[in-house]
C-alpha cells in the first residue's frame, strides 16, 4: 500500500514541477535583409536556422527592395506598440542617415562595453571603422564591397586583335566629338588591367559592329545597372570619384569631375557602346546576368558576388551560373579614368585614377528592436569565423574578419575564386579610404544623379539621335536643373 502511495506522490510531483509544464513558446522576430534569392536561401538555412535552434526563437527573413525604404520601415517600427524587427542589414549608404535620425542603437548601450570592445577587435579596422557614426559605434560589419571590371576573355582577345578594321570610322566619328579622334598613339591592350576609358569605348565599338554567334544581328554589348535605384547611382558616383570628386563636390554636383563622368556616359551612348536594353529594361544585376547568358553583354562593372553568381558552381545545381564556358570569365581592377576631351596634340586633357568608393553592408540594431541583446548575439553569430568563411567562399563576399582577411590565400582556393579575391584586394587598395558621402542627404542626392543621367545622357543621345556631344550643353543642363535641386536639398538640411 505504501509503495502505491509513494508512486502516486511521485507522479503528482512530476506533473507539478516538470512533465506537465509546457515548453516555453518561441519568440518570433523579423530580420530585414537585402540579398539575391540564392544567397538568402543559403543564409536562412545555414546561418539563421542554427541560431534559432541555439537560442530557441523563430526568425523570419523579410527583404526590402530599395535602401531608401529602410527609413520608412524603421519609422513605422518605432511607432508600433509591438515592434518585431530584431536586426537590419544596412548598406553603407544608409548607415549615417539612420543613426543620426535616431533609428539605430549604439552597440555600447546594448551590452557590456568591455565585451563589445573585445568582440570588435576581431574585425578588420577598415570595416569596423566604417561602422562608426560621430565617433560612436553603431554597426557590426558584414562585408566590404567594391566594384570590379567583368569581361569575357575571348571577346577581349578578339577586340584587341581586330579593332583596327573600324579604326578609320571611329576616328572620323570621334574627331567630330572631341576635335581629334582617338588619343595620340592609341592601341587597345589585350590585358584589361592596363585599360582606361578609351579602351572601353574602342572595345565596345568593335563589339557593337561585329556579328557574333552566326547571327546577322549587330548590337552594343557593354552595360551597367540602369534602374532607378542605388546600384545605378553608385556606379555614377564611382566614376566621379575616379576623376577626383570629393564628397562635397559629389553632393553639390557642380564640379568638373561630375561633368567628366556625364560626358563619358553620353559618349558611350552616342557611340553605340552601351546596350540600350539596359535603360529600356531598367536593368539591375540579375538582368545583366541574363544579358551575359544571352550574348548581349561582354563587359560590365560587377561586385564580387555578381562574379560568383555569373560564374556559378559546376557541382551545385542551384548555382549553375550564366556562362556556357566559365573559364572565359575575366576580372580586373577598374580602368583608369581619363577625360573624353583631348588636347590639341592628342593627349588627355585630364587624367584620373582607378580609385573608387569602398562600401559594403553592416548589421544594425534598431532602437525599437524587441530584444537588443539577442540582436547583438545574432549579428555576432552571423559573422563568426566559420559562418563568414563559408558564406564568403560561396558567394564572393569580401570578408571583414581579421583572421580571414589576413589569410585570404590560405582560406580560399585559388583559380577563379582566388582571382576574384586577389583583384578585389587590389581594388580596395587602390580605393584607399574613399567612400560615398557620409551625409544624410546622400540618399536624395543619389536619386538626382540617376535622373540627371537619363536627362543628360540617355534622352539626348539615344539610338538614332545624332546630336553632337557638348560639355557646355551638359554643364548648362546641370546648372539649370540639377545643381539648383542639390542646393535646395543641402540648404534645407542645414536649417
Integer Cα distance of 329 and 148 in angstroms: 12
Q: pLDDT tens digits, residue range 370-405? A: 999 999 999 999 999 999 999 988 887 888 999 888
Q: What is the pLDDT of residue 11?
A: 42
Band (pLDDT 50/70/90 cuts) for residue 433 is confident
Q: What is the pLDDT of residue 23?
A: 54
What secondary structure letter does DSSP report for 5? H
Q: What is the pLDDT of residue 16?
A: 41
Residue with the three cell numbers 515592434? 83
Band (pLDDT 50/70/90 cuts) for residue 18 is very low
Mean pLDDT computed over 171-186: 94
What secondary structure letter does DSSP report for 187? -
Q: Has domain 27-145+360-431 been given CATH number 3.40.50.10420?
A: no
Whether the predicted pLDDT of 251 surpasses 90: yes
> Which of 380, 423, 442, 378 minimizes the C-alpha distance to 92?
442
Whether the predicted pLDDT of 189 surpasses 70: yes
The residue ranges of every structural domain in the chain are: 27-145+360-431, 147-356+438-494
Q: What is the pLDDT of residue 349?
A: 97
Whether the predicted pLDDT of 98 surpasses 50: yes
Q: What is the pLDDT of residue 412?
A: 61
Q: What is the pLDDT of residue 494?
A: 52
More confident residue, 319 or 205: 205
Q: pLDDT tens digits, residue range 137-161? A: 999 999 989 999 999 999 999 999 9
> Which of 287, 361, 297 minimizes the C-alpha distance to 329?
297
The CATH homologous superfamily for domain 147-356+438-494 is: Periplasmic binding protein-like II (3.40.190.10)
Q: What is the pLDDT of residue 123?
A: 95
Q: What is the pLDDT of residue 24?
A: 62
Mean pLDDT computed over 165-176: 94
Whether the predicted pLDDT of 205 surpasses 80: yes
Whether the predicted pLDDT of 462 surpasses 90: no
Taking each helix axis from N to C end, the angle separating 442-453 and 230-242, rounded to the nearest 10 degrees, works out to: 90
Give the bridge partners for 137, in sequence order: 132
Band (pLDDT 50/70/90 cuts) for residue 10 is very low
Average pLDDT score, the chain: 90
Q: What is the pTM of this model?
A: 0.83
Q: Which of 126-130, 144-148, 488-492 reaches the highest mean pLDDT?
A: 144-148
Q: What is the pLDDT of residue 463?
A: 53
Whether the predicted pLDDT of 338 surpasses 60: yes
Mean pLDDT computed over 82-101: 94
Mean pLDDT computed over 98-120: 95
Band (pLDDT 50/70/90 cuts) for residue 320 is confident
Q: What is the pLDDT of residue 466?
A: 57
Residue with the three cell numbers 542645414? 494
Mean pLDDT computed over 189-193: 97
Q: What is the pLDDT of residue 335?
A: 98
Whether the predicted pLDDT of 334 surpasses 80: yes
Torsion, Cα 74 79 84 85, to 10 degrees, reads 10
Q: What is the pLDDT of residue 12?
A: 42
- List helix spans (H) across 80-196: 92-100, 113-120, 125-129, 153-162, 167-178
Whether the predicted pLDDT of 14 surpasses 80: no
More confident residue, 67 or 83: 83
Mean pLDDT check: name the lowest of 13-17, 30-34, 325-329, 468-472. 13-17
Q: pLDDT tens digits, residue range 289-304? A: 999 999 999 999 999 8
Q: What is the pLDDT of residue 416?
A: 86
Element (H, E) at 63: strand 57-63
Amino acid at each position: 500500500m505504501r509503495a502505491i502511495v509513494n508512486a502516486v506522490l511521485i507522479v503528482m510531483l512530476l506533473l507539478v514541477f516538470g512533465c506537465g509544464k509546457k515548453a516555453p513558446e518561441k519568440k518570433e522576430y523579423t530580420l530585414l535583409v537585402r540579398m539575391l534569392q540564392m544567397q538568402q536561401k543559403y543564409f536562412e538555412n545555414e546561418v539563421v536556422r542554427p541560431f534559432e535552434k541555439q537560442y530557441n526563437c523563430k526568425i523570419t527573413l523579410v527583404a526590402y527592395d530599395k535602401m531608401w525604404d529602410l527609413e520608412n520601415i524603421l519609422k513605422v517600427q518605432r511607432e508600433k506598440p509591438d515592434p518585431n524587427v530584431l536586426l537590419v542589414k544596412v548598406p553603407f549608404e544608409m548607415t549615417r542617415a539612420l543613426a543620426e535620425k535616431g533609428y539605430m542603437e549604439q552597440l555600447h548601450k546594448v551590452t557590456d562595453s568591455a565585451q563589445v570592445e573585445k568582440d570588435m577587435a576581431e574585425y578588420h579596422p577598415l570595416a569596423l571603422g566604417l561602422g562608426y557614426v560621430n565617433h560612436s559605434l553603431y554597426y557590426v560589419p558584414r562585408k566590404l564591397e567594391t566594384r570590379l571590371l567583368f569581361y569575357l576573355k575571348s571577346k577581349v582577345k578578339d577586340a584587341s586583335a581586330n579593332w583596327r578594321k573600324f579604326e578609320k570610322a571611329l576616328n572620323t566619328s570621334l574627331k567630330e566629338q572631341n576635335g581629334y579622334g582617338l588619343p595620340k598613339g592609341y592601341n587597345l591592350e589585350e590585358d584589361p588591367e592596363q585599360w582606361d576609358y578609351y579602351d572601353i569605348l574602342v572595345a565596345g565599338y568593335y563589339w557593337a559592329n561585329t556579328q557574333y554567334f552566326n547571327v546577322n544581328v549587330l548590337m552594343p554589348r557593354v552595360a551597367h545597372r540602369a534602374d532607378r535605384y542605388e546600384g545605378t547611382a553608385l556606379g555614377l558616383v564611382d566614376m566621379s570619384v575616379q576623376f577626383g570628386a570629393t564628397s562635397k563636390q559629389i553632393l553639390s554636383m557642380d564640379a568638373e569631375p561630375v561633368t567628366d563622368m556625364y560626358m563619358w556616359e553620353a559618349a558611350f551612348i552616342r557611340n553605340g557602346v552601351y546596350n540600350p536594353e539596359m535603360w529600356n529594361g531598367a536593368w539591375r544585376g540579375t538582368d545583366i546576368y541574363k544579358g551575359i547568358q544571352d550574348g548581349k553583354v561582354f563587359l560590365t562593372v560587377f561586385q564580387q558576388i555578381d562574379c560568383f553568381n555569373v560564374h556559378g558552381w559546376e557541382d551545385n545545381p542551384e548555382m549553375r551560373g550564366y556562362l556556357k564556358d566559365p573559364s572565359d570569365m575575366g576580372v580586373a581592377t577598374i580602368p583608369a579614368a581619363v577625360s573624353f576631351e583631348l588636347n590639341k596634340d592628342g593627349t588627355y586633357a585630364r587624367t584620373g585614377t582607378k580609385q573608387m568608393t569602398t562600401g559594403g553592408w553592416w548589421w544594425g540594431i534598431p532602437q525599437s528592436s524587441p530584444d537588443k541583446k539577442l540582436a547583438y548575439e545574432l549579428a555576432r553569430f552571423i559573422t563568426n569565423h566559420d559562418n563568414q568563411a563559408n558564406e564568403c567562399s560561396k558567394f564572393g563576399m569580401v570578408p571583414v574578419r581579421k583572421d580571414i582577411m589576413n589569410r585570404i590565400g590560405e582560406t580560399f582556393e585559388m583559380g577563379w575564386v582566388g582571382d576574384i579575391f586577389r583583384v578585389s584586394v587590389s581594388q580596395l587598395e587602390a580605393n584607399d579610404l574613399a567612400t560615398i558621402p557620409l551625409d544624410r542627404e546622400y540618399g536624395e542626392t543619389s536619386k538626382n544623379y540617376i535622373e540627371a543621367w537619363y536627362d543628360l545622357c540617355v534622352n539626348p543621345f539615344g539610338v538614332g539621335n545624332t546630336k553632337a556631344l557638348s560639355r557646355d550643353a551638359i554643364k548648362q543642363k546641370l546648372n539649370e536643373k540639377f545643381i539648383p535641386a542639390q542646393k535646395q536639398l543641402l540648404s534645407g538640411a542645414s536649417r
